[in-house]
Amino acid sequence: MMMKKDIGLGILRIGSAVLMLTHGIPKFSKLISGDLEFGDPIGLGAPVSLFLAVIGEFVCPIFVLIGYKTRWATIPILITMLVALIFVHFADPFGKMEKALVYLLIFTVILIMGPGKYSIDRK
């Protein structure tokens, strides 16, 4: 029975990290190209907001993907999704904020359950 749980956690961890990277890679490309135009939802300035979004949507998902420091890596992702939900999409229709909610739920489960057996953390 434990093997099924670990396979499920691996699928959830790897799949969600890959999906999050589809949002993070364009932001990372924008950052390294020097294009620092970005939203400023919490008043830190566009470059800082972009940098923090890259950490939450690109750097940390790579850690989650490989299962290294997984629980710690979910925290910036969760913060990024909370900011997206509360400050960016809160007034939007539910369908627009749903993606941030789904990521919030998935990465909360990963934070609670850990990466599972098939990860660097477990080696």
> pLDDT tens, 50-70?
999 999 999 999 999 999 999
In-domain check, residue 2: no
CA 30 to chain centre: 17
User: Is residue 3 assigned to a domain?
Assistant: no
Helix (H) or strand (E) holding 85: none
Structurally, the chain folds into a number of domains equal to: 1
Looking at residue 1, its pLDDT comes to 60
Range of the domain at 33: 9-118
Predicted structure pTM score? 0.94
Minimal CA–CA distance to 77: which of 62, 63, 47, 57? 57
- Residue 63: inside a domain: yes
**Is 61 part of any domain?**
yes
Please list the alpha-helical segments (H only) found in the chain.
Answer: 2-32, 46-54, 60-66, 70-83, 94-113
Q: Which of 65-69, 92-96, 108-112 has the lowest mean pLDDT?
A: 92-96
pLDDT score for 46 = 97
**pLDDT tens per residue across span 6-63:** 999 999 999 999 999 999 999 999 999 999 999 999 999 999 999 999 999 999 999 9
Domain-embedded: residue 89: yes
Q: For residue 33, is it within any domain?
A: yes
**Token pair belonging to 55:** 């950490």
Is 4 contained in some domain? no
Residue 52 lies in a domain: yes
Q: How many residues does the chain have?
A: 123
